[in-house]
């Protein structure tokens, strides 16, 4: 589980996919407004990829050097894009959850 104290180290760190290969660089971490826990990160997949991708942190791992994600670079590249400077709405979060885990049911 990613803790609030980890945020400073995560921003700017490389993000890796399930195969251990780099999928991008973490550009920011978003926290839950109610709990203060890290919930989402944005990852820039590279110079020619366009905008940053939001990724959920619920299944991510932080090893103090890399943010290890269970998502491939293609999943990040194909994810829905939203404004980076604003909080994600519940509808945006649901779209992202379904993108990364299509078998998951809706959250309540």
Instruction: Identify the pLDDT of residue 47.
Output: 64
In the chain, the percentage of residues whose pLDDT exceeds 90 is: 66
pLDDT tens digits, 1-25: 799 999 999 999 999 999 999 999 9
Give the pLDDT mean for 75-104: 88
C-alpha 33/C-alpha 13 separation (Å) is: 23
Query: Which candidate, 51, 59, 9, 5, places its Cα nearest to that of 31?
Result: 5
Q: Is the pLDDT of residue 49 over 80?
A: no
Q: Which helix (H) or strand (E) holds 53?
A: strand 53-56
């Amino acid at each position: 589980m990613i803790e609030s104290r980890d945020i400073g180290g995560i921003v700017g760190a490389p993000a890796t996919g399930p195969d251990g290969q780099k999928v991008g660089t973490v550009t920011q971490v978003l926290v839950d407004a109610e709990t203060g826990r890290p919930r989402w990160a944005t990852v820039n997949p590279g110079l020619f990829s366009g905008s940053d991708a939001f990724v959920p942190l619920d299944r991510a791992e932080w090893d103090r050097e890399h943010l290890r994600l269970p998502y491939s670079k293609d999943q990040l590249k194909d994810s829905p894009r939203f404004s980076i400077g604003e909080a994600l709405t519940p509808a945006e979060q649901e779209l992202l959850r379904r993108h990364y885990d299509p078998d998951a049911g809706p959250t309540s």
